[in-house]
């Protein structure tokens, strides 16, 4: 099994829709740090699990310097964003962590 990990940072704003009162319901921003883990039993024709540049393009180009509420059609919690990122990268992606601020990290892992 081959494994790769790509870390990217994006700057983006969002506001949350919550069932309780919170300052996070107001528009605010983060410098998000995203770790993306992929694996494959076989390498592609270029000898890679997936090109690091392609991973970055698929995610950063859609999210960086955006209001995530305008781009994503769900409540933009770190947990939901992690799942969305995994879905964008397909079956090779098995784990995504999304850090929205120091000490606050959400992780999505695909069940096997």
Percentage of the chain lying above the pLDDT 70 cut? 99
Active site residue 24: yes
Active-site option among 9, 65, 79, 91: 65
* Model confidence pLDDT, tens digit, residues 7-55: 999 999 999 999 999 999 999 999 999 999 999 999 999 999 999 999 9
Q: Is 65 a catalytic residue?
A: yes
Whether 112 is catalytic: no
Q: Structure pTM?
A: 0.95
Calpha distance 81→75 (Å, rounded): 9
Q: In 1-112, where do the E strands start and end?
A: 2-14, 28-40, 66-67, 93-101, 104-109
By DSSP bridging, strand 66-67 and strand 2-14 are parallel
Top-level class of domain 2-109: alpha beta
């Amino acid at each position: 099994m081959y494994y790769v990990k790509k870390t990217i940072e994006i700057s983006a704003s969002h506001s949350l829709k919550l069932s309780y009162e919170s300052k996070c319901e107001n528009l605010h921003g983060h410098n998000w740090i995203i770790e993306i883990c992929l694996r494959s039993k076989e390498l592609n024709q270029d000898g890679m699990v997936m090109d690091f540049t392609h991973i970055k393009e698929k995610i950063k180009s859609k999210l960086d310097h955006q209001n995530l509420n305008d781009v994503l059609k769900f409540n933009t919690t770190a947990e939901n964003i992690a799942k969305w990122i995994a879905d964008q990268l397909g079956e090779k992606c098995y784990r995504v962590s999304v850090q929205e601020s120091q000490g606050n990290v959400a992780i999505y892992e695909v069940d096997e």
